[in-house]
Amino acid sequence: MKNVEGYLQAARKEKSALLFVLIDSENDGEGSATTLAREAEKNGASAILVGGSSATDQITMAETVKKIKGSVKIPVVLFPGNVTGVVPGADAILFSSLLNSENPYFISQAQALGAPNVLKFGLEPLPTAYIIIGEGTTVWHVGSVRTIPFDKPGLAAIYALSAQFLGMRFVYLEAGSGAKSNVTPEMVAAVRKLFKGFLIVGGGIRNKETAAEIVKAGADAIVIGTFIEKGGSFKTIADIVKTIESIRN
């Protein structure tokens, strides 16, 4: 697909919010990546993200991307945790800077090392500020994060504002894969107030009630990974999509 950003903006105009399904190439869980992606598409997901902070096997990742790409029409977007997450065959990449990392590698160095392959593989870069909330998750550990506590929405908001001033068109508020707590609606609302771009929220979302609260607070898209990876039902996914699409904000 050409112009994934345009597709996402157009889809967002039509629906109140979108669902992205995250597939970790190293953990197919209860189903194969292809089956999960097909089911996700069938039940209303707008994009498939492939990656994760502990997915480092480029060969498996490239194979997974290729398989998924061959079985769905919705865009396949890389969600790299490192330079190893840049592989051929996807439509786009969340070209992210982990803004609240204490290690410059995750803010700009991995990006410099990864950029030539983004160009070489013809991946559409979606300029994204990746902001980690809370602690104790894999991404928090791997990304050397100076965390933002869940009850400090103002801190997330100023990072998002700086992302906007830096020209990033996407912000991803991340509680971490399988997080016990999701990003609070209060924090989403504080970020929404200042950030005008496309707001993605993920980590620990497992039901339609939480998804609805986050969308009402201003998220443009939510991400669900662990729930599906652990065999959660696609009926719930369909319910979540129906719920978030019908909220007008």
Applying CB under 6 A, the residues found at the interface with ligand 1GP are 22, 174, 177-179, 202-205, 223-227
Residues whose CB is less than 8 angstroms from the CB of residue 223 and which lie 6 or more positions away in sequence, other chains included? 19, 20, 21, 22, 49, 172, 200, 201, 202, 203, 205
User: By C-beta, is 21 or 62 nearer to ligand 1GP?
Assistant: 21
Minimum distance of ligand 1GP from residue 206's CB (angstroms)? 7
Which amino acid, one-letter code, is at 49?
Answer: L
Sequential DSSP letters for 9-21: HHHHHHSS-EEEE
Separation of alpha carbons 37 and 57, rounded Å: 20
Minimum distance of ligand 1GP from residue 91's CB (angstroms)? 19
Minimum distance of ligand 1GP from residue 202's CB (angstroms)? 2
Minimum distance of ligand 1GP from residue 2's CB (angstroms)? 26
Minimum distance of ligand 1GP from residue 120's CB (angstroms)? 26
Separation of alpha carbons 89 and 15, rounded Å: 28
User: By C-beta, is 224 or 241 nearer to ligand 1GP?
Assistant: 224
User: By C-beta, is 153 or 176 nearer to ligand 1GP?
Assistant: 176
User: By C-beta, is 92 or 179 nearer to ligand 1GP?
Assistant: 179
User: By C-beta, is 44 or 202 nearer to ligand 1GP?
Assistant: 202
Separation of alpha carbons 158 and 171, rounded Å: 12
Helices and strands, number each (H, E), in the chain: 11, 8
Residue nearest to ligand 1GP (CB): 202
User: By C-beta, is 168 or 221 nearer to ligand 1GP?
Assistant: 221
Q: Phi and psi of 126, rounded to 5°? A: -105, 105
Please name every residue paired with 154 in a beta bridge, in sequence order, or none if there are none: none
Minimum distance of ligand 1GP from residue 178's CB (angstroms)? 5
Minimum distance of ligand 1GP from residue 197's CB (angstroms)? 18
Separation of alpha carbons 55 and 226, rounded Å: 14
User: By C-beta, is 142 or 205 nearer to ligand 1GP?
Assistant: 205
Tokens matching residue 82: 């490192």
Separation of alpha carbons 122 and 93, rounded Å: 10
Separation of alpha carbons 184 and 218, rounded Å: 11
